Chain A
Amino acid sequence: MSTSSTSVKQGRSELGVALLLLVLGGWAVIDALRLQELAIRGPIGPKTVPLVVGGLLVLTAVLLAIDVLRGGRGEQEAGEDVDLGHGSDFKTLGLLVAAFVANALLIERLGWPVSGAVLFFGTTYALGSRHFIRNAIISIVLSVSTWYLFYLGLDIKLPAGILKGIL
């Protein structure tokens, strides 16, 4: 891919950010207009600040769009483990999100000891680790031990799920 086409593509997705800001601003304004000015104490009701914030969002959307059209680009965040040389790896991201969603769906059905292990195992797989047996052992030890840590140490009862009565 030539650099100029990459830059055009990035410019288009940057305009998407402006669009998102515009949508958020519109949401704030529409939601605020629906509010009733009843039982207010003082001259400023519940509407004012949401309207101001909505206006600010719309304003930043416009300013950002102008900035992008004039060639401004957001500076991607660097870091110790970050290699900005290649674009976002959507396969890894997709697998990570899948592991995350699996946990959210399973935590109340199967309990944290199972769903947490699925989460950890799934994320290590997504990030490229292929030591299946070692990862499985670490996953189970981590999820069971955090369950006990929260239960005994912090008095927070995470769902035990199918292991209820065993743990």
Chain B
Amino acid sequence: MLDDFFTRAVLAGLGLALVAGPLGSFVVWRRMAYFGDSTAHAAILGVAFALAFDISIYAGTLAVAVSMACLVSALVARGQAMDTMLGVLSHSALALGLVAISFVPQARSDLGGYLFGDILAVGRSDLVLIWTGAALVLGVLILRWQRLVTSSLNEELAMAAGIDPRVERLVLSLALAVVVALAIRVVGSLLISAMLIVPAAAARGWARTPERMAAGAALIAAASVILGLWSSLRLDTPAGPSIVTAAAMFFVLSQALRRG
């Protein structure tokens, strides 16, 4: 069954969807959308490093994404104007990545693959990595769920309960970095944030509790993967963008139903 490239693509996408739903909900709750962007855009720099030094793409992007997450956290903690700072970092990281990657001859040809993902080329080892990483991040989120939700809702209330909001913020930043690294093959560095935010935003309209929103976001992300890949096969459109387009359609649908 795993011999079929399409089956592998679906499985890889579903693995990502499973973790992108809950994590994306936190991104929406904490208004970290730009934060996700800057981490994701930095991933392309990671790809350049990985190719230049001949290490795994996942290791390269993970290292750069983690450094970026730490850098942003540090700047925010120092009280920099958040949106400007992230705007600077996000696009500088992307530009720097594109410049760096142009020095690596073998990468120039499949630059599009890193920007928009190449889910149809996912191999067995990619699948193992994606599912292991997704399970790991999901496990951490579930174990720390109460703490994470409390400190996302209100940091003072969290502190009163003996929770250190800084720790929870760091956990989320690191989880984000891991998911960015996992997603680079699936939707590419330009669309990772969309995979996190769009399904969560679509689930927001129907959800009455954080748990339902997280579960709803995971379901919508999974449905987007299946619908996107299916239409990609039928219409011969690029897979990553098709998945995000499907998610965007679910979002529009959720908004329309909400009003009606």
Q: Do A and B bind each other?
A: no
Q: Which residues of A contact B (CB under 8 A)?
A: none
